[in-house]
């Protein structure tokens, strides 16, 4: 049976595609001292997609959640499927991934009975069914339009990035003892677990992991994987973070499919929200490339004359573009700015995992910043 196309729906989708999306892969061009370095990181268009494969170790073991892509009528449609606990799900249906405020519909319920309304033009009822193999359903308006999606996986091309010559490797495939590079503080050994393959896992309430070495201006590469905690909410949903100089926190959190505010994944905690929420689903490895310029001080070294500069690339997309932070974020704002300090991986009570963490010192910028 051929479904009659919903003309109002198709028109509304076209408007969404043109007007309601952010295109993080297309710009802006990074500014500041590290423009050339940050620009060398490929945009989201280069991030590969591949079908769900339970035998692939880099694929989430929870097949229903995550990214889905397909068609609604003859038009493209994508979805983010989020487990909300008690066997229920939230499904964000959109015209494209990695956008802000471009949701076509939000469905909720059990996998065999997901219901919601469209958010374009005249509201219409949307009904869907979710299985390990497909997300299918219909939209009712001035007619019925069917949609069908398959699960896809979009992996950051920065996963497995090799440290440059001279970089400090904090954890890698050859790491045998976390205490060689990390401490709990106070002279105590690091309390986190070292898993197979060079993965470190936070031991809840075991204390944060502090680097033994202090860092100033740096390029930090790190990979992390949030835990699947469908019953948890908000800041309790697989929380951790990178405290640069123990002052400036780039948040780690399972905020997949959420709005992307300053206290969610990719946010400079409670200070600056990411340009777009690039958080991947729990169980999937993600990447951060953080370019940090330490604050500058006067000749006495006691007075800050310029704040810290930070650019962040999350899963291959620039989410912070040369942001200036006059002081630390969250509790870090209580500490005086400093030229160099340790990096802290936060223990917030959740078993978040990390791998392939290295730090490369950033060279001093040229005085003309590349401009003649």
Strand partners of residue 82: 90
Sequence-ordered alpha helix ranges (H) in 248-301: none
Whether the pLDDT of residue 170 is over 90: the answer is: yes
- Give the other-Cβ count within 10 Å of 340's Cβ: 12
Q: How many residues does the chain have?
A: 372
DSSP characters over 286-351: EEEEEEEE--EE-TTSSSEEE-EEEEEEETTEEEEEEEEESS-SGGGGGSPP-S-EEEEE---SS-
Q: Which residue has the higher pLDDT, 69 or 8?
A: 69
Q: Which pLDDT does position 371 carry in this prediction?
A: 41
CATH placement of domain 49-154: 2.40.128
Section 181-210 average pLDDT? 95
Residue 189 has pLDDT above 60, yes or no: yes
DSSP 11: H
Domain spans in the chain, listed from the N-terminal domain onward? 49-154, 168-361
Distance CA 231, CA 245 (A): 33
Per DSSP, the residues of 91-158 read EEEESSSS-SS-EEEEEEEETTEEEEEE-SSS--EEEEEE-SS-EEEEEESSSEEEEEEEEEEE--TT
Cα gap 147→79, rounded to integer Å: 11
Handedness of CA 34, 40, 46, 48 (dihedral sign): negative
Average pLDDT of the residues in 346-364: 94
The pLDDT score that the predictor gives to residue 104 is 87
pLDDT tens profile 258-309: 999 999 999 999 999 999 999 999 999 999 999 999 999 999 999 999 999 9
- State the pLDDT at residue 61: 61
CA distance 155 to 314: 11
Domains 49-154 and 168-361 agree in fold:
no
The token duo for 109 is: 């319920």
CA–CA gap between residue 266 and residue 264 (Å, rounded): 6
The C-alpha atoms of residue 148 and residue 134 are separated, in whole angstroms, by 7
pLDDT tens digits, one per residue of 7-46 = 544 444 443 333 333 334 334 456 655 655 665 655 443 3
Mean pLDDT of 358-365: 86
What's the gap between Cα 325 and its chain centre? 20
Percent of the chain residues topping a pLDDT of 90? 68
- Tens of pLDDT, residue by residue over 16-27, are 333 333 334 334
Cis check: omega of the bond before 57, within 30 degrees of 0: no
Architecture of domain 168-361: Sandwich (2.60)
Mean pLDDT of 105-109: 95
> What confidence score (pLDDT) does residue 157 get?
83
What residues contact 209, with CB distance under 8 A and at least 6 apart? 178, 182, 183, 184, 190, 191, 192, 200, 202, 344, 345, 347
Query: b vs e for 321-337, b when ≥16 Cβ sit within 10 Å of the residue's Cβ?
Result: bbbebebbbbebbeeeb
What tokens does 80 get?
Answer: 């983010």
Q: How confident is the model at residue 200 (pLDDT cuts 50, 70, 90)?
A: very high
């Amino acid at each position: 049976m051929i479904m009659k196309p919903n003309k109002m729906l198709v028109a509304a989708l076209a408007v969404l595609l043109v007007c309601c999306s952010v295109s993080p892969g297309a710009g802006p061009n990074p500014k500041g001292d590290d423009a050339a370095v940050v620009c060398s990181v490929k945009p989201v268009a280069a991030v590969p997609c591949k079908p769900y494969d339970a035998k692939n170790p880099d694929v989430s073991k929870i097949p229903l959640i995550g990214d889905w892509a397909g068609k609604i009528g003859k038009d493209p449609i994508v979805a983010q499927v989020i487990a909300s606990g008690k066997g229920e799900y939230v499904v964000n249906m959109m015209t494209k991934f990695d956008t802000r405020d471009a949701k076509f519909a939000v469905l909720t319920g059990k996998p065999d009975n997901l219901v919601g309304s469209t958010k374009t033009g005249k509201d219409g009822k949307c009904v869907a069914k979710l299985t390990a193999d497909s997300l299918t359903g219909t939209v009712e308006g001035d007619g019925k339009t069917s949609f069908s999606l398959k699960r896809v996986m979009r992996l950051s091309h920065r996963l497995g990035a090799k440290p440059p010559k001279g970089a400090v490797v904090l954890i890698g495939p050859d790491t045998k003892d976390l205490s060689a590079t990390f401490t709990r503080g106070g002279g105590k050994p690091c309390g986190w677990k070292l898993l197979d393959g060079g993965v470190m896992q936070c031991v809840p309430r075991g204390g944060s992991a502090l680097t033994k070495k202090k860092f100033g201006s740096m390029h930090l590469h790190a990979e992390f994987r949030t835990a699947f905690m469908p019953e948890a909410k908000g800041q309790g949903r697989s929380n951790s973070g990178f405290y640069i100089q123990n002052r400036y926190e780039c948040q780690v959190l399972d905020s997949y499919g959420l709005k992307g505010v300053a206290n969610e994944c990719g946010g400079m905690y409670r200070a600056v929200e990411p340009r777009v929420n690039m958080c991947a689903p729990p169980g999937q490895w993600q990447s951060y490339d953080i370019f940090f310029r330490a604050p500058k001080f006067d000749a006495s070294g006691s007075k800050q004359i310029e704040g810290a500069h930070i650019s962040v690339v999350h899963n291959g997309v620039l989410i912070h573009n040369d942001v200036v932070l006059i002081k630390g974020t969250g509790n870090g704002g209580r500490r005086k700015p400093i030229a160099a300090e340790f990096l802290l991986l936060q223990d917030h009570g959740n078993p978040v995992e990390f791998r392939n963490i290295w730090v490369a010192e950033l060279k001093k910028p040229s005085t003309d910043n590349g401009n003649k």
